[in-house]
Amino acid sequence: MEVFGQLAGGFATALQPINVAMLFVAVVLGLVIGVLPGLGGTSGVAILLPITVFIAHGSLPGSDATTAIIFLAGIYWGALFGGVITSILFNIPGEPWAVVLLFDGFPLAKRLGKPGLALSSSFVSSFLGALVSTILFTFFALPIALKALEFGPAELFAVFVLSFATLIGLGAEAPMKSVAMLALGLLLAAVGFDTVTGEQRLNFGQTALLSGISFVPVTIGLFGIGEILASAEEQGIGFVENISAKLGLRDVVEALRELRKRLRLVLSNAIIGFFFGVLPGHGATAASFLGYGLARQYSKNKENFGKGEISGIMGPQAAADAAGVASLVPMITLGIPGSPTSAVIMAGLFIWGLQPGPVLFIQHPDFVWGLIASIYLGHLLTFILCLLAVPLLAMIMRVPYAIITPFIVVISIIGSYSLNNSMLDVFITVLFGLIGYWLRKMKYPLAPLVVALVLGDSTERELRKALIAGHGSPLYFFNSGLSTVLILFAVVLVAIPLIRTIRARRRGAAPPPAPAHS
Amino acid sequence: MRPYQVATAAAIVLIAAVAMFDSRAAFSPSAGTSPGDVGSRWYPFWAATIMGIAAVIVAYRVLTTLQPVEGAFEGRRSVFAVLKIAVPMLAYAVLIGGIGFRTTDFTYRIVPAFGFYLATALYMGLFAWWLGRYKIWWVAAIAVAFPIVIFGVFELGFRVALPKSFLYTSGILPF
């Protein structure tokens, strides 16, 4: 089969010494980022994105764009695994997708006195989930990309609309807040020159804004600085429940034995996680909660959940890692990020001069297959490192707050400045850090803002190309069966929260009107 | 929580109104360069309109449904915890580039540009002294070591030219 040949070529690329070395560095960085509560996978990838410009342009001997994407993706894989360590050992989630491990991971480690089993159960299920997802990625990516090559502007616009609708309809926050954030992202993307007519807009006479608002400083601010401020507020709650972090071969063998008993659960959650992760806007976090719910729903020991049940660790972990890998599928095949982290990685592709989407498979097969092969290698490497270095990683939690916090700010500032050598970008980072912190506090979702900011230009371009092709008639979008189906599906998705509200009101579950003052 | 939610929604409405005003040419008959094109203002105008409407609905929902009684912050301690990070961070960003203004002939400096490395030394040192309460030699070591390591990694390793200080321009320091 063609896929195997391509994958073999990908492994030849990924196994080049520079790529292996950068993958190792990235995975270690990702694990550290995952362990640190003040720094998430998305912010870690965003902060280190500017460095990849130098990697992609050959600053390191033998490095190119493939090295850069392997590096960025490696950070993500490391963070996916690293976040669980603090959840299980310290009862502090290092990453949002590790929150679910507080339910059973920490009780298994603390109450039942089996931290090694809790950690190794999490690692083996994560690895298996990621492996299943990567295999599906390998076989699904090319057919999706080849189909997407046939898309015209109407279909592409419909795909963008569908991805936005997914963010609204299936988001965890209030749908109108998602709409507001989505529109804000589209608005920010419109600042500067109009790509079709070359006219200036939304720059209010400021020449510095003519080139638009760069995605990278905004993301570093929203996620990097925003998370630092949020964790500053929460400081002092952690470091109480500290458990010894030793992991022996016996723990791994026991975890494998437990995995055998739950193989069906882990495999099914991995497959569900994959398809869930492909949906735009839903990365590992939502999948982890879905995985936990499914594990509990189909368990014979429901009463053990919340008390250290291993299915409550393996189920969500398999789904979360599978979704994390799958979030790259729409980014690579269609040019639509599946999660905020993949949105940052996609921004990297633009910066390195590559166009994410189906053409990538035709123009840069080495890049795509090198990335896919590196996912296998990256997860294997992360898995081995996790088994070997848990005590070392747990020690990172003991780095003093007074050093780690300003250090993250310093790295964020370097990241935002170095992309365009612009102090304006530094101020944008600081400003969006404050905005991101506040929006998070007010429960506005940041994923729609980030995804819309990345896709804003492409969405407008395809919309206007379609309207020009249809001589201004919106009916042009319904000329193609595919775009019609996608738009109708988008309408249904947007209607979901509305239907949910109406049903809740009919059942009388809607909250009563508030008094004059709360 | 209600006043904070309403104020946030109001701020979003204000941003939307400004963007709609800037894009008011969306309905100009001469918009667009080719038949069928909606022009450059149409898209931002409708994005702003949708944003404004969504924020108004959010505010309406906040005003007509029960909201958590507690405020945005859990007491003064949590406000100070955020300010402890936010204020030095703002000062750090300002110190890197300095404060000044430019006329057609001159650039006036109120605060000289400390550049990245000097500002980082001050910033890291401040945190080590203030929040870490380390002894003075530890503070000095942290303030010196971090900029040197960053210089080695970024300036020499990745060849990223970070902003230099007024002492660099006068030839006293290498950064």
The domain segmentation of chain A, as residue ranges, is 2-503
Indicate the domain borders of chain B. Answer: 2-64, 75-169
Question: What own/partner pairs with CB < 8 Å and gap ≥ 24 does B118-123 have?
Answer: B118/B147, B118/B165, B118/B167, B118/B173, B118/B175, B119/B92, B119/B95, B119/B165, B120/A410, B120/B92, B120/B146, B120/B147, B120/B150, B121/B146, B121/B147, B122/B92, B122/B95, B123/A406, B123/A409, B123/A410, B123/B88, B123/B91, B123/B92, B123/B95
Give B-chain residues touching A207 at CB under 8 angstroms: none
CB contact under 8 A, A190 and B44: yes
Q: Nearest residue on chain B to A186, judged by CA atoms?
A: B47
The average pLDDT across A281-307 equals 79
Q: Which of B1, B5, B24, B40 is best to mutate for the A interface (most A CBs within 10 A)?
A: B40
* CA–CA separation, A199 and A464 (whole Å): 15
Residue A21, Cβ density class (10 Å: 0-12 exposed, 13-18 middle, ≥19 buried):
middle
State which residue of chain B sits closest to A413, comparing Cα positions: B93
What residues of A are in contact with residue B2 (Cβ under 8 Å)?
514, 517-518
Shortest CB distance from B66 goes to which of A180, A407, A518? A518
Q: Output the pLDDT for position A89.
A: 77
Of A406, A442, A470, the CB nearest to B127: A406
Q: Is the pLDDT assigned to residue A240 strictly greater than 50?
A: no
A479 has a pLDDT exceeding 70: yes
CB contact under 8 A, B4 and A232: no
Q: Residue A143 has which token pair? A: 């057919």
Q: How many CB atoms lie within 10 A of CB A497?
A: 18
Tell me if A410 and B36 make a contact (CB, 8 A cut-off).
no
Distance from CA of A446 to the nearest CA of B (A): 14
Query: For B47, which of A187, A410, A468 is closest by C-beta distance?
Result: A187
Element holding A9 (H helix, E strand): helix A2-14
A-B contacts (CB, under 8 Å): 194
- What is the pLDDT confidence band of residue B33, given thresholds at 50, 70 and 90? low
Q: Could you give the 3-state DSSP secondary structure of residue A173?
A: coil
Least-confidence region, from A374-388, B30-44, B122-136: B30-44
User: What pLDDT, on a 0 to 100 scale, did the predictor assign at position A18?
Assistant: 92
Residues 93-112 of B with CB under 8 A from A: 93, 96-97
Average pLDDT of chain A is 83
> Tens digits of per-residue pLDDT, B49-85?
999 999 999 999 989 887 777 777 777 888 888 898 8
Of A176, A196, A405, the CB nearest to B37: A196
Single pTM value for the model = 0.80
B2 in contact with chain A, both atoms CB, cutoff 8 A? yes
Contact A418 B82 (CB under 8 A): no
**Mean pLDDT over residues A94-119, rounded?**
79
Predicted pLDDT at B5: 92
